[in-house]
Structures are given as C-alpha cells and as structure tokens.
C-alpha cells in the first residue's frame, strides 16, 4: 500500500516537467521507470533559475539619459527631455523586465527537460522527443 501511494505521489509531483518527455515504455518495468524518472527530475531541479535583469529603475535611468541627450542635441532644455525619457524608460523597463522573465522561465524549463532527457537516455530508456 505504501509503495503504491509513493508511486502515485511521485507521478503527480513530477508531471509538470516530465510531461514534456516521451519515453518508449515497451519492455520497461513501471516501478523502475518511475524511480528513474524521479531521480532524473531531482537532478533537473538543480538548474539555477536566472533573475530578470534591469527593470523599471534601470529603464527610467536609461530613458532619462537618452531623453536629456536628445533634448540637448535638439537645442531644447535637457530637463524636459529627461522627464519624457524617464517616463518612457519606466514603461520600457517594465515591459522589458516582463519579457526577460518570460524568456528566463522558458530557458529554465527547456534546460530542465534536456537534463531529464539526457538522464533517462543514459539509463537506457528510448526518449522519443
């Protein structure tokens, strides 16, 4: 009973990452497969998740600098250009950080899937994707 509950728990716990992995299970003992998949998923959890760089503050600073430079070049006051540039930089920094976070999450998931695929292949399984 305990082994059955453990197997069900392992399957449910690791379906998010391992659901992307397709393995040919013909001739494979299900208990060994679940154990190996669990171990490979544990290895994949060691991947470092990268934080998104930049953001609102750095976007505002960059925007203010560019706005001040553009204002000075056009002959106007640099402070008006800096204010406009900072406002645009805040929005750009916010959007850039969100895009960066999504890209980092995608890369993180891809690297985890690759680790699981390599691990399962090294254990003798035929990974189909």
Residue with tokens 């013909």: 26
Q: Give the pLDDT band of residue 90 (cuts 50, 70, 90).
A: low
- In this prediction, residues 96-116 reach a mean pLDDT of 88
- In this prediction, residues 50-58 reach a mean pLDDT of 57
Q: What is the pLDDT of residue 32?
A: 94
Which residues, listed in sequence order, are joined to residue 23 by a DSSP beta bridge? 127
Positive or negative, the Cα torsion across 34, 129, 13, 47? positive
Mean pLDDT (the chain) is: 75
Q: Give the pLDDT band of residue 121 (cuts 50, 70, 90).
A: very high
Q: What is the pLDDT of residue 100?
A: 83
Q: Give the pLDDT band of residue 127 (cuts 50, 70, 90).
A: very high
Triad 52, 67, 103: Cα angle to 5°:
20
Q: Over 80: is that where the pLDDT of 44 sits?
A: yes
Q: Over 70: is that where the pLDDT of 82 sits?
A: no
């Amino acid at each position: 009973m305990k082994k059955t509950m453990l197997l069900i728990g392992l399957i449910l716990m690791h379906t998010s990452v391992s659901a992307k992995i397709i393995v040919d299970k013909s001739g494979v003992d299900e208990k060994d497969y679940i154990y190996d998949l669990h171990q490979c998923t544990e290895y994949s959890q060691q991947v470092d998740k990268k934080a998104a760089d930049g953001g609102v503050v750095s976007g505002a600073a960059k925007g203010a600098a560019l706005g001040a430079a553009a204002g000075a070049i056009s002959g106007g006051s640099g402070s008006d250009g800096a204010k406009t540039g900072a406002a645009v930089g805040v929005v750009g920094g916010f959007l850039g950080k969100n895009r960066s976070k999504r890209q980092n999450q995608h890369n993180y998931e891809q690297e985890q899937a690759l680790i699981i695929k390599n691990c399962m292949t090294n254990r003798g399984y035929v990974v189909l994707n």
